[in-house]
């Protein structure tokens, strides 16, 4: 049995939970706030969520956990068997995570917690997001899945990273980040119906 630590308000927690369901793995959810307390740091060195526990050992970072789960339970495979194609899936995920989601996050304090961010940060967010979206759209396949013809980890990251990034850009700048990206929007709409994601989303509304 795997323990999943974090809160259901976290997009990366929900992504990891969807992968555990996708792989039909036994797991339990344990509520854990992202603190700098020792118990949390022992699970997640930056104090973030999610983290997992496996036989008393801990792992953080959703992408590390995702890679582990894909090896632990190979079916359904969420990384292509071809090493280069698998690398390309991770490449797409890195750009979605680092150059879009993480950039949009700079404005999270104002979007979700009413803590104003400076004009300088707002401007750099918009500039860097434009660059990040160009990068993602250069390698996003979307025919019909994020990285090609099969469902991969990149589809899960597309759903959960753009969920947060589009919420932030809409509230901060009144902009639809995906206005000129119908391929990305299609993947998100498709993933919303995908059983593991649909279950996570329905449970998200409940306390957790």
Ligand X SMILES: N[C@@H](CCC(=O)N[C@@H](CS)C(=O)NCC(=O)O)C(=O)O
Told to check if 48 binds ligand X by CB under 6 A, we report: yes
Burial class (CB in 10 A: 0-12, 13-18, 19+), 154: buried
Asked if 184 contacts 142 with a C-beta cutoff of 8 angstroms, the reply is: yes
Task: Confirm or reject binding of residue 208 to ligand X (CB under 6 A).
Answer: no
Contact pick of 18, 19, 43, 62 for ligand X (by CB under 6 A): 62
Nearer to ligand X, 105 or 122 (CB): 105
Instruction: Give CA–CA dist 187/146, Å, rounded.
Output: 7
Candidate residues 61, 85, 175, 201; the one interacting with ligand X per rule CB under 6 A: 61
- In this structure, the number of other CB atoms found within 10 A of the CB of residue 145 comes to 19
Report the relative pairing of strands 27-31 and 51-54 from DSSP bridges.
unpaired
29 near ligand X (CB under 6 A): no
Using CB under 6 A as the binding rule, whether residue 12 contacts ligand X is answered as yes
Piece of 47-55, 81-89, 174-182, 193-201 that binds ligand X (CB under 6 A)? 47-55
Q: What minimum distance in Å lies between the beta carbon of 49 and ligand X?
A: 4
- Give which of 162, 117, 112 is closest to 137, Cα–Cα: 162
Contact residues for ligand X (CB under 6 A)? 10-12, 34, 47-49, 61-63
């Amino acid at each position: 049995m795997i323990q999943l630590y974090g809160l259901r308000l976290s997009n990366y927690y929900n992504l990891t939970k969807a992968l555990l369901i996708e792989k039909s793995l036994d797991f339990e959810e344990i509520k854990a706030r992202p603190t700098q307390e020792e118990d949390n740091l022992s699970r997640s060195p930056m104090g973030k969520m999610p983290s997992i526990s496996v036989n008393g050992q801990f792992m953080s970072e959703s992408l590390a956990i995702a890679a582990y789960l894909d090896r632990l339970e190979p079916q359904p495979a969420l990384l292509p068997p071809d090493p280069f194609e698998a690398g390309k899936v991770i490449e797409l995920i890195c750009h979605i995570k680092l150059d879009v989601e993480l950039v949009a996050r700079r404005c999270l304090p104002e979007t979700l917690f009413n803590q104003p961010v400076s004009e300088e940060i707002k401007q750099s967010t918009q500039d860097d997001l434009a660059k990040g979206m160009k990068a993602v759209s250069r390698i996003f396949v979307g025919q019909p899945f994020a990285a090609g013809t099969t469902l991969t980890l990149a589809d899960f990251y597309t759903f959960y990273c753009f969920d947060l990034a589009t919420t932030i850009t809409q509230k901060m700048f009144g902009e639809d980040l995906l206005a000129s990206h119908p391929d990305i929007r299609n993947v998100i709409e498709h993933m919303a119906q995908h059983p593991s994601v649909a279950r996570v989303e329905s449970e998200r509304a409940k306390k957790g």
